[in-house]
Structure 1
Amino acid sequence: MTVDTQDSNIADRSIGSILANLRNLSADQVERIVRHQREQSVRFGEAAVALGFASSDDVLFALSQQFHYPYAPEERRSASPELVALNQPFGVQAESLRAIRSQIIMRLFNEGQERRAIAVVSPEAGDGKTFFAANLAVVLAQLGGRTLLVDADLRHPRQHDVFGVENRAGLSGILSGRAEAKVIQQVPGVSSLFVLPVGTTPPNPLELVERPAFGLLIRELLSKFDHVVVDTPAACFGSDSAVIAARCGAALVVARKNEARVEALQDLVANLAETPAQVAGVVFNEF
């Protein structure tokens, strides 16, 4: 697997160099910014914004590159609006996701503990499970470790749409013995984040995740990535999520606040308790 090193090269450059490349600034424009910077005793980014050659968002993007913090530039956000942790990393939702990330790390990744993948499960469709799994993967990747998001929702896969990656080949091909090359794809602009999409939606999703091949795959992925997040089908569609959680070793339950049925949520948590998976907690989605 090859990894694009463009981001690491950008991180070693100055703010001025990154902004000049981002906004295609001419030599004359850069000189005017530098002159304003000296005259007003301000930073290059502030001078560029004051002269109208860059936006505040451009400066935040440039800073994120220098500090190795994935952050989508403005023109890329419309393609993946659900990725709030990447599009708006300083907003309320992103801060909530980082708080959950901290809790997960403290509960599941203590020194000496067996490494686990995290299955994100929910009782009902529409609880925001796919949205949460995608953004959890982003905030884990923002720590700097190699992070993989596996779309194991073999019934209604959406992660390829969320991240804008190809879905011609993926998990279903691996589990059915028809593995194609390059099924794991790097997320553009985030060097530490990767996605394994579903590929072809299979007619036998539960049987595929129940096969030993799925557990073997999870163990192999854990040896290659620092964090593995697994999206699953909602529990209302069958027992896929419980089977996947058991193979992953850990589960995080997502339910929509004021809409989730208490009985369905209790049933899901009870089912997970009968598996080897450690339940890291329950998250109520308010958005």
Structure 2
Amino acid sequence: MAVFRESNAAPYLQPVPPVVGDAKVGGAAPHELSIGEIIRRERRLSQEQIEQILQYQREKGVRFGEAAVALGLASQQDVLFALSQQFNYFYAPDAKRGYSNELVAATQPFSHQAESFRAIRTQLMMRVFSQDDVRRAIAIVSPDSGDGKTFFAANLAVVLSQLGGRTLVVDADLRGPRLHELFGIESSSGLSGILSGRAETSVIKQVPDLPSLYVLPVGVTPPNPVELVERPAFALLMRELLSKFDHVVVDTPAAVYGADATVIAARCGAALVLARQGRSKVSRLQDLVATLNNSPAKLAGVILNEY
């Protein structure tokens, strides 16, 4: 990826618990544990295996992690994961965590794709989140379906959460929601219930293994998506969310389906346009950019999805 340039929602938002420094692993915060203890817990090493590692460590004069790798009792990925825990850099080290393979920033945090998302994060921190005192959410919009909005929104939310502040990714694609599938979370209630006044329980889900990241799924797919996001309740909800989270990322339907995306972007305050290499039509992309330029939303830029 390359950077180119009437119901009150508040009752449905439960207090957000402290994260990062307060995330506990067996009674201790991850950064308080030694590398060896983190590896032991992740690999479920026996006391006999621990003794083997310690003996090798003493004989060779190497670190615990190096000794464990040399003996085949841990991998380099295990050592990287243990280091990340000590530095409060949370990610999911393998697919068994239940995430989709599309969540490259969470499952492959040292890959080229994840580095691309971090570069985009840096641009957004300068262009959108740090320019003035106005709090903005950022809507991810694109001309057509299949451009990769959900993939992009989810991974952007992951890398924002890795900065340490509370990050929320909202599935506002009321026509074809997918965020809950990527994160492997339950989605029986969510945004549609809030906007229709039917939500009865807390609908914001904390993502396992990523303690700074939260998801607001769609819930039941409604028959009137554009009417729901045009109601005052959606603007009220966005203001409430911005008061509770450091960063809010919003997934949207493709612009080809209607006005949903531009309405959502206006309520968010900022928009990032996504196009797909070899697929997006220039005329539709130009029309979407022109529409956003004439809206209250701040246009953060255009991303070319090369994947």
1:148 aligns to what SS in structure 2? strand
166-175 or 56-65: bigger deviation: 56-65
Counterpart for residue 71 of structure 1: 91
2:291 to 253, 268, 271: 271
SS across alignment from 2:302? strand
8 Å CA contact 1:57, 1:74 repeated in 2: no
Q: Residue in 1 aligned with 2:57? A: 37
| Structure 1: tracts of 5 or more residues without a match | none
TM-aligned CA deviation for residue 153 of structure 1: 0.2
1:113 corresponds to 2:133: yes
2:118 is matched with which residue? Answer: 98
- Residue 147 of structure 1, aligned match among 161, 164, 167: 167
Q: Residue 16 of structure 2 contacts residue 244 of structure 2 at CA under 8 Å; is this kept in 1?
A: no
Deviation of residue 32 (structure 1)?
1.1
The residue number in structure 1 matching 2:69 is: 49
Amino acid at match of 2:122: S
Between 184-193 and 173-182, report the one with greater CA deviation: 173-182
User: Which region of structure 1 is more displaced relative to structure 2, 110-119 or 151-160?
Assistant: 110-119
Q: CA–CA distance in 2 between the matches of 1:84 and 1:222? A: 26
Could you give the per-residue CA deviations for residues 51-79 of structure 1, whole angstroms, max 9, x where no partner exists? 01111111111111111111212243664
Could you tell me which residue of structure 2 aligns to residue 6 of structure 1? Answer: 24
1:183 aligned residue: 203
User: CA–CA distance in 2 between the matches of 1:112 and 1:273?
Assistant: 19
- The equivalent of 2:3 in structure 1 is none
1:194 alignment counterpart = 214
Deviations 1:13-70 (A, max 9, x none): 0011011111111111111111111211211111101101111111111111111111
After TM superposition, the structure 1 = structure 2 runs for residues 216-227 of structure 1, keeping only pairs within 5 Å, are: 216-227=236-247
Shift of 1:105: 0.6
Question: Structure 1 stretch 6-15 or stretch 187-196: which is displaced more?
Answer: 6-15
Give yes or no for the alignment of 1:127 onto 2:147.
yes
State the Cα distance separating 1:12 from its structure 2 match. 1.3
Give the 3 Å change call, closer, same or farther, for CA 110–260 of structure 1 in structure 2. Answer: same
CA distance in 2, matches of 1:229, 1:74: 24
Structure-2 separation of matches of 1:75 and 1:96: 21
- Structure 1 residues 168, 106: closer, same or farther in 2, change over 3 A? same
Q: What is the rounded CA distance, in whole Å, between the counterparts of 2:16 and 2:245 in structure 1? A: 14
- Structure with bigger RCO (C-alpha 8 Å, 6+ apart): 2
- How far does the alpha carbon of each residue in 1:113-156 deviate from its partner, in whole angstroms, 9 at most, with x for none? 30100000000000011100000000000100100000000000
1:153 alignment partner AA: D
| CA spacing shift, 1:242–1:111, aligned 2, 3 Å | closer
Mapped to 2, the partners of 1:111 and 1:274 lie a distance apart of 20
When structure 1 is superposed on structure 2, of 111-120 and 251-260 the one drifting more is 111-120
% of aligned pairs identical? 66
CA distance in 2 between counterparts of 1:2 and 1:247 reads 22
Give 3-state SS (helix, strand or coil) of 1:250's partner.
Answer: strand
Q: Which amino acid aligns with 2:197?
A: G
Q: Can you list the C-alpha shifts for 1:228-267, whole angstroms capped at 9, x where unaligned? A: 0000000011010000000000000011012110000001
What TM-score, normalized by structure 2, do the two folds share?
0.91
Which has the higher mean CA deviation after the structures are superposed, 255-264 or 71-80? 71-80
Give the aligned partner of residue 21 of structure 1. Answer: 41
Alignment correspondent of 1:160? 180
In structure 1, how many angstroms separate the alpha carbons of the residues matched to 2:167 and 2:61?
41
Q: Which residue of 1 aligns with 2:8?
A: none
Superposition deviation, residue 279 in structure 1: 0.4
Unaligned runs of 5+ in 2: 1-14
Partner in structure 1 of residue 10 of structure 2: none
Cα distance in structure 1, aligned partners of 2:201 and 2:246? 22
State the one-letter code of the partner of 1:156. Answer: G
The structure-2 alpha-carbon separation of the partners of 1:254 and 1:75, relative to structure 1 and needing over 3 Å to count, comes to closer
Cα-Cα RMSD: 1.3
After superposition, the C-alpha distances for 1:79-124 in whole angstroms (9 at most, x for unaligned) are 4211001111111111111111000010012253301000000000
- 1: CA distance, partners of 2:237 / 2:88: 29
1:199-218 equivalences under 5 Å are: 199-218=219-238
Q: Give the match's secondary structure for 2:29.
A: helix
| SS of residue in 1 equivalent to 2:215 | strand
